[in-house]
Amino acid sequence: MTVSDCTCPSRVSVTQYAAHMTEPAAGLDRYRELVADWPAFLEACQRPLPTVVWENPLRRDLVTRVGAECGLGEAATVADLLSCRGYSTTALDWRPGAWRVDGLAKPGRTFEHYLGLMHVQEEVSLAPPEVLAARPGERVLDLCAAPGGKTAGIAISMRNTGTVIANDLRPQRLRPLRANCERLGILNVVITPINGVRFPLEAGPFDRILLDVPCSCEGNVRDSHPDARGRATAGVAGRGGLQATLLGRAWKLLRPGGVMVYSTCTFAPEENEVVLDHALGDDAAIEPFEIPGLRHAPGVDHWAGKSLRDDCTNLARYWPHLNDTGGFTVARIRKTSDS
Amino acid sequence: MSDASNFGNRSDYLQIEPEPWSSWWAEQYGTPTELFDDYSFWQRGKYTIWVAAADIQPGAVSPVDGIGIPLLRTGRDVWKPTSVAVIHFGRDVARNVVDLEADEASRFLGREAIEFENDARAVLPHRGYVIARYLGVPIGCGLWRRGGLASSVPKGRAMRDLELPRA
């Protein structure tokens, strides 16, 4: 059998996949037809991102104690602790226990952060763990896990039981992954430094997999951090091969009936719908989902003159102006059990 | 007890019995002996004991870079609890604990040593690792010796002038 005969997604080579890609266009103008309110989108991209923190439910008792010592009562939250030092906080509509905080320039230099009472994370990055909806006792893989905010969200939704394998290839990204998990008191995580495209199949099967792939990071357009700006310079076409290969590998690790969440912090259909269309077979169903209070636009079933899978419209694309967040795209995919 | 073959710089984590580690913690800090009942214990190399969820299953995956959180460093004559473990498991300690004032906590978190001469809190009888507490919550571990407390907050986590809530 030649490579071109092989339908197995993990055998797709980068060069082979490149044929499926369109040329990257400069800037965001290429998304005009996808965005309903273009001026609002452009305006949102100019604004800096709000700082968002969430309270760590595993440290609820410590928050209670500090709140009581500060005279705020036992029902005090992390937001109350920050408020009494002069920061203004606004609870997120769609996510209990998370707040936007104004004026907190260095949230990492607070007592609450040091103690793991809270974590700082871009608001829309809280969505993938919600969509994955992992349950206590399950076996879950986070294949591209660093720096670990989503890993922590998954681990906490499993109430610190079961197993989350948090994998990332690069050593410089493993350090923050480990530090965040340890600081937040995450006890159900196994950290592995393995190349995702060769992640051992014997480690599976997994009940759920989060595949938050490396991407061109267009959605970080509002992030003022120099690192984020640097990442965002990569073109949208260059990553599709790696993304499809990771998806093919992760698919083999997922049990029949299991759920995979594929997410990118980019808008490009080349890194989302086109990858899913290329790598997924008949044993996959992209499922519709809704997070109450978090608005999204649907995915596309055609792009750059090509038709894509019908169920690609079930993707959720979070444009920055819809919820005043960064940009993100999330797909929830079920492995049908008759595969 | 730990597997005697699990020595050296090996990268594998071996699951071990909770003893003597859980008893040592209960004895040292006066915590309930059942504190660690619902956890699993792991050892990597000779000197670090890790604690994780009871039902955690690494499975057929290698190498592994961490399971749960590190609990104890056992390489020296005095065993040292890690700061992350102190924060997680040091909530209801009865002894070998010292409560710090705001300025002391601030210095402690910046890795500065704190003197306790002529201080009523200086009740610890011997050299050993104690839990530092601020506003009733554990903030890290320090080495108690000759009336002073040397901060053991890891260099990577230590911060001068950390923003503190005040009572």
Structure tokens at B73: 């460093």
Nearest Cα of chain A lies from the Cα of B58 at a distance, in angstroms, of 6
Minimal CA–CA distance to A220: which of A94, A72, A328?
A328
**What count of other Cβ atoms lies within 10 Å of the Cβ of residue A304?**
15
State residue A6's pLDDT score.
Answer: 34
Choosing from A89, A121, A153, the residue where a domain stops is A121
Q: Are residues A117 and A128 both part of a single domain?
A: no
Nearest Cα of chain B lies from the Cα of A164 at a distance, in angstroms, of 8
**Lowest-pLDDT range of A71-75, A127-131, A163-167:** A71-75
User: Which residues of A are less than 8 Å from B63 in CB distance?
Assistant: 192-194
Does the distance separating the beta carbons of B51 and A194 come in below 8 Å? no
Helical pair A171-183 and A149-157, crossing angle rounded to 10 deg: 40
Nearest Cα of chain B lies from the Cα of A73 at a distance, in angstroms, of 12
Phi-psi domain of A321 (left: phi exceeds 0; alpha: psi -120 through 50; beta: other): alpha
A239 vs B75, residue with greater confidence: B75
Q: Are residues A37 and A56 both part of a single domain?
A: no
User: Among A27-36, A245-254, B7-16, which range has the highest average pLDDT?
Assistant: A245-254
State residue A77's pLDDT score.
Answer: 97
What distance in Å separates the CA atoms of residue A44 and residue A190, rounded to the nearest whole number? 38
Looking at residue A56, which CATH number applies to its domain?
3.30.70
User: Which residues of A are less than 8 Å from B41 in CB distance?
Assistant: none
State residue A14's pLDDT score.
Answer: 46
Q: Are residues A272 and A318 both part of a single domain?
A: yes
Note the Cα A300 to chain centre separation in Å. 20
Express the helix, strand and coil content of chain A in percent, nearest 5 each: 40, 20, 40
Q: Are residues A213 and A270 both part of a single domain?
A: yes
State residue A170's pLDDT score.
Answer: 87
Q: Are residues A73 and A170 both part of a single domain?
A: no
**Lowest-pLDDT range of A66-80, A108-122, A173-187, A213-227:** A213-227
Q: Are residues A56 and A41 both part of a single domain?
A: no
Q: Number of structural domains, chain A?
A: 2
Residue A296 exposed, middle or buried by CB count within 10 Å (0-12, 13-18, 19+): buried
Domain containing A116 equals 51-121
Q: Kindly tell me if the per-residue pLDDT of B3 is higher than 50.
A: no
State residue A13's pLDDT score.
Answer: 44
The mean per-residue pLDDT over the stretch A248-253 comes to 98
Helix (H, G, I), strand (E, B) or coil at A164: strand
Q: Are residues A88 and A111 both part of a single domain?
A: yes
User: Which residues of A are less than 8 Å from B100 in CB distance?
Assistant: none
What distance in Å separates the CA atoms of residue A41 and residue A2, rounded to the nearest whole number? 46
**Lowest-pLDDT range of A125-134, A197-206, A230-239, A323-332:** A230-239
State residue A53's pLDDT score.
Answer: 98
Does the distance separating the beta carbons of B39 and A114 come in below 8 Å? no
Q: Kindly tell me if the per-residue pLDDT of A320 is higher than 60.
A: yes
State residue A225's pLDDT score.
Answer: 58
State residue B11's pLDDT score.
Answer: 61
Domain boundaries, chain B: 13-75, 97-151
- A265 belongs to the catalytic site: yes
Structure tokens at A89: 């906080």
Which among A165, A183, A190 is the top mutation candidate for probing chain B, defined by the most B β-carbons within 10 Å of its own β-carbon?
A190
The mean per-residue pLDDT over the stretch A160-177 comes to 95
Interface predicted TM-score (ipTM) of this complex, two decimals:
0.92
Choosing from A82, A102, A121, the residue where a domain stops is A121
Q: Is the peptide bond before A226 cis (omega within 30 degrees of 0)?
A: no
DSSP A312: G
What distance in Å separates the CA atoms of residue A279 and residue A11, rounded to the nearest whole number? 10
Q: What percent of chain B has pLDDT over 90?
A: 70
Q: Are residues A41 and A187 both part of a single domain?
A: yes
Q: Are residues A42 and A190 both part of a single domain?
A: yes
State residue A227's pLDDT score.
Answer: 54
Q: Are residues A102 and A174 both part of a single domain?
A: no
* Long-range Cβ pairs for the range B31-40 (8 Å, 24+): B31/B89, B31/B92, B31/B93, B31/B94, B32/B92, B35/B89, B36/B89, B39/A187, B39/B68, B40/B15, B40/B68
Choosing from A86, A121, A156, the residue where a domain stops is A121
Q: Kindly tell me if the per-residue pLDDT of A308 is higher than 60.
A: yes
Q: Considering CB atoms only, which of A65, A161, A200 is closest to B137?
A: A65
User: Which residues of B are less than 8 Å from A81 in CB distance?
Assistant: 165
Name the average pLDDT for chain A: 89
Confidence of residue B161 (pLDDT cuts 50, 70, 90): confident
Which among B86, B92, B163 is the top mutation candidate for probing chain A, defined by the most A β-carbons within 10 Å of its own β-carbon?
B163
Looking at residue A233, which CATH number applies to its domain?
3.40.50.150
Tell me how far CA of residue A253 lies from CA of A155, A259, A335, in angstroms.
Answer: 19, 11, 11
pTM for the full model?
A: 0.90
Q: Are residues A170 and A281 both part of a single domain?
A: yes
State residue B46's pLDDT score.
Answer: 85
Q: Are residues A256 and A323 both part of a single domain?
A: yes
Q: Considering CB atoms only, which of A68, A110, A179 is closest to B162?
A: A110
**What count of other Cβ atoms lies within 10 Å of the Cβ of residue B166?**
14
pLDDT digits over B47-81, tens only?
999 999 999 999 999 999 999 999 999 988 889 99
Please measure the distance between the N-terminal and C-terminal CA atoms of chain A and give it in whole angstroms. 22
Find, in chain B, the residue whose alpha carbon is nearest to that of A117. B87
Nearest Cα of chain A lies from the Cα of B62 at a distance, in angstroms, of 7
**Lowest-pLDDT range of A82-91, A219-228, A231-240:** A231-240
pLDDT digits over A192-219, tens only?
999 999 999 999 999 999 999 999 888 8
B97-151 belongs to CATH 1.10.3470: no
Q: Considering CB atoms only, which of A111, A188, A203 is closest to B56?
A: A188
Q: Kindly tell me if the per-residue pLDDT of B87 is higher than 80.
A: yes
Find, in chain A, the residue whose alpha carbon is nearest to that of B50. A187
Q: Kindly tell me if the per-residue pLDDT of A18 is higher than 50.
A: no
Which among B64, B69, B99, B153 is the top mutation candidate for probing chain A, defined by the most A β-carbons within 10 Å of its own β-carbon?
B69
Structure tokens at B18: 């909770």
State residue A268's pLDDT score.
Answer: 93
For residue A174, the number of C-alpha atoms closer than 13 Å in the C-beta half-sphere is 18
User: Which residues of A are less than 8 Å from B62 in CB distance?
Assistant: 200
